[in-house]
Amino acid sequence: MSKGLPQRSDNFSAWYNELVKKADLAENSAVRGCMVIKPYGFSVWEKMQNKLDEMFKETGHKNAYFPLFIPKSYLSKEADHVEGFAKECAVVTHYRLKSDEKSGGVVIDPEAKLDEELIIRPTSETVIWNTYKNWIQSYRDLPLLVNQWANVVRWEMRTRLFLRTSEFLWQEGHTAHETKKEAEEETLKILDIYTKFLEETMAVPVLRGIKSENEKFAGAVDTYCVEALMQDGKALQAGTSHFLGQNFAKAFDVKFATKEGKNEYVWGTSWGVSTRLVGALIMSHSDDKGLVLPPNLAPIQVILIPIFNTDDEYSTTVSNLEELNKNLMENNIRSEIDSRENHKPGWKFSEYEMKGVPLRIVVGPKDLENKTVEIARRDKLSKNVIKESEVIKHVKQLLPEIQNNLFDKAKRYKEENTRVVNSYEEFKNIFKNENGLVYAHWDGSKETEEKIKKETKATIRCIPISGEKSKGKCIVTGRDSERMVVFGKAY
């Protein structure tokens, strides 16, 4: 494994790109803007997926799957939706290739043109609501609580592994309800799930709020979000939950018979998180030595490394670690032994530091004599020697301690880099010289929002849904403002 990363303070972007590759998480594919998620990176995503899937099912949601291809006519049925996604759509126009005698290669068969072009799904609202028209007839069919795990394609010009790729993996929930109140409650329930997952499983503190009109999802009435702050001071939208009102129900004529015998349009929601969360995990916790993973998501929580000089020492030490590994796994601790003989211990130490394994246990001949082990923490880069008999107890204590420490550290960073600003000059200086989250008054107009974005590259990350409203004056226009909103530069 090659060693060394650019320093975060020198070039955060280069540090991130190198870390993704050197930690064996992902690499660029032959298709521009797409990525290959490697087994180690995919195992992190799987752990995210499994936990979220469990949380969705606990609240009554069921998984389904809908087609990758969407008839182009579907997108035109919801005006805001098509406008929001039109520039990102990949379109299938033909269904066959044929041999080209001149070049010896293949070309598109002009006679195989589709009667209707197909969009490779950028999101599934249209195809799902067209399906719901057949599933929903009466109030007895509601609520309909469906989630799917899928891939989507949004043709991106500037890409970065995990954070923004032309194809990515995600979950998208789509629910239908009898009343506006039920749909709004569903939207906030999902926001709670995302908050809990990010803070308790990913150890990433978040800010919860509602998006401005400019920033909300195309086709939604309201978009709620969870925003996280990365170590370079930029905000990252970690998840969104949309109250769709009756927009898609009306576009696709999805009605139900009420208990009173009337026909009414259903109320809808949609919500999702993606493999972007892996990027959030990396940028929230990692350091100049490599990845730092919270134990709740680490594919390997404890790596066991033998130290030996002779074949006899190798055999004895590995045998000891195999017994320890068995005991760890019996206690539901994800552990592995690296018994490779063709790499020195120091090389292995660096490899697992790069991969962010929370705990490293080392055993050598002297440890066998003394019945001790050396245990090292990835989060603090500290180590100490403990009795072999206390390993299980010690590991069980350390893993939640590491999880909490990572959350507390990220929370301190977020608090230290969140400021309240009362003048536009101060606002501009902050985003000229540094980043972070900024609370400031805004007059509520799109014009002011766009002016701020053009002059500072900062956008409204959210209008907080917690805390009291405090009236003031817009920092740009001086007009009345009902409450502060949160600005930041974002990925």
Contact criterion met (CB below 8 Å) for 302 and 373? no
Mind listing the pLDDT tens digit for each residue in 338-356?
Answer: 999 999 999 999 999 999 9
Query: Which CATH code is given to the segment(s) 12-71+123-285?
Result: 3.30.930.10
Quick one: pLDDT at residue 58?
98
Given a cut of 50, whether residue 227 has pLDDT beyond it is yes
Architecture label for domain 302-413: 3-Layer(aba) Sandwich (3.40)
Rounded distance between C-alpha atoms, residue 215 and residue 364, angstroms: 57
Backbone phi and psi for residue 147, each to the nearest 5 degrees, phi listed first: -130, 150
455-469 pLDDT, tens digit each: 999 999 999 998 667
Give the span between the Cα atoms of 285 and 274, in whole angstroms: 19
The CA-CA-CA angle for residues 64, 68, 70, to 5°, reads 110
Domain ranges of the chain: 12-71+123-285, 302-413, 418-488
Contact 35, 367 (CB under 8 A): no
d(CA 475, CA 423): 5
Q: Which of 417, 449, 420 is nearest to 433 (CA)?
A: 417
Paired tokens of 251 = 């576009």
DSSP state of 298: -
Q: Is the pLDDT of residue 307 over 90?
A: yes
Rounded to a whole number of angstroms, the CA Rg of the chain reads: 26
DSSP for residue 197: I
Helix (H, G, I), strand (E, B) or coil at 389: helix
Question: How far from 229 is each of 301, 410, 430, 442, CA to CA, in Å?
Answer: 25, 8, 15, 21
> CA angle at residue 61 from 55 to 63, to 5 degrees?
100
- Give me the mean pLDDT over the 87-116 stretch: 92
> What is the average per-residue pLDDT within 82-108?
89
Tokens coding 186 = 């569903």
Q: What is the pLDDT at residue 3?
A: 61
CB 66, CB 128: distance < 8 Å: yes
Percent of the chain at pLDDT > 70 equals 99
pLDDT bin (cut points 50, 70, 90) of residue 100 is confident
Q: Write out pLDDT tens, residues 382-405.
A: 999 999 999 999 999 999 999 999
Q: How far apart are CA 87 and CA 66, in angstroms?
A: 23
CATH 2.40.50.100 correct for 418-488: no
The reported pTM is: 0.95
